[in-house]
Structure 1
Amino acid sequence: MDFEAGIEAGGLMDIEAVQKTLNRSRASVYRYANTDPNTLNPPYDPTRLNPEMRLNKDDVLMFHPNEVARFARDVLKIKNVTIEVRETPKTEIQELLEEILAELRSIHQLLKTRS
């Protein structure tokens, strides 16, 4: 069985992405997850699927792709583990923010040279 995760660049995986990647039910992914109702961030457990640190108990469980791959390989014994990172096309908002950032940098540089 091959394991391949399609992850957006720099992104984490939510429960649905883990479920699709591992080909397991949502309930089983929750059973695999290293969570505890009494502890916000339980210590690392190599036999469980460890989510990223959370600041609040209401935060959505998010998983690093490397952790999902480790869990698939070491615990579920899936032989071929591959993580594929996909670049997402830039949205208009991202392009606008990059233009604003470039403008701010040029203003900052100009102010530095004047002082």
Structure 2
Amino acid sequence: MASGALLGSDLTSGEKAAEAEAASEASEGLIGIDEVQKALNRSRASVYRYTNTDPRNLNPPFNPRKLNPEYRSDQKDPLMFHPNEVARFARDVLRIKEVTVEVLNSPSTATQQLLGAILEELRVIRSRLDHLDGRPADLSIRRDQQGARPAA
């Protein structure tokens, strides 16, 4: 969902941890090996050498000297990286002064389209409710105004 993000801002370790946790909850905005390779201007093999992976441990602990991928639930899952982690690695380890990682919008999914339709419907409802000026908001008052209806 992010677009054109400029990375490399100075974050405290607590902010980095919070950001990593938020990124693990939503996979949007994560980048793969190919994008990391382009951002760092390094070979694919170099990117794999930089990456903090361990065949015995699916999610090794954070290593400040390595490029740390996002958490994976299966060994077969592709390595995905948060753009700020790539920028941190480039700045702190590779000593690259300026790193720009661009995250493009992902194509709209059926879920996003459905949520957009729901949001639009809620806006219409809200608009109609806002136009009910002077009308009672309490349903019991409105029922009393219309008179008693026979019970079914």
Global fold match (TM > 0.5): yes
Stretches of structure 1 that go unaligned for 5 or more consecutive residues are 1-5
What does residue 19 of structure 1 align with?
Answer: 37
> Rg: which structure is higher?
2
Q: Distance in 2 between matches of 1:89 and 1:53?
A: 20
**TM-score, with length taken from structure 2:** 0.55
What does residue 115 of structure 2 align with?
Answer: 98
Alignment length, in residue pairs? 102
**TM-score, with length taken from structure 1:** 0.71
CA RMSD of aligned residues (A): 3.2
What does residue 60 of structure 1 align with?
Answer: 78
| Structure (1 or 2) with the greater strand fraction | 1
Distance 1:93 1:63, change over 3 A: same
Q: Distance in 2 between matches of 1:66 and 1:78?
A: 14
Distance 1:99 1:46, change over 3 A: closer
The 8 Å contact of residues 40 and 99 in structure 2, kept in 1 or not, is answered as: no
Q: Distance in 2 between matches of 1:23 and 1:49?
A: 14
Distance 1:38 1:89, change over 3 A: closer
Q: Distance in 2 between matches of 1:41 and 1:89?
A: 26
SS of residue matched to 2:99:
strand
| 1:44 is aligned to 2:62 | yes
Stretches of structure 2 that go unaligned for 5 or more consecutive residues are 6-27, 127-138, 140-152
Q: Deviations over 1:86-111 (max 9, x none)?
A: 5x3864857732344337758xx9xx
Distance 1:84 1:103, change over 3 A: closer
Q: Distance in 1 between matches of 2:30 and 2:106?
A: 17
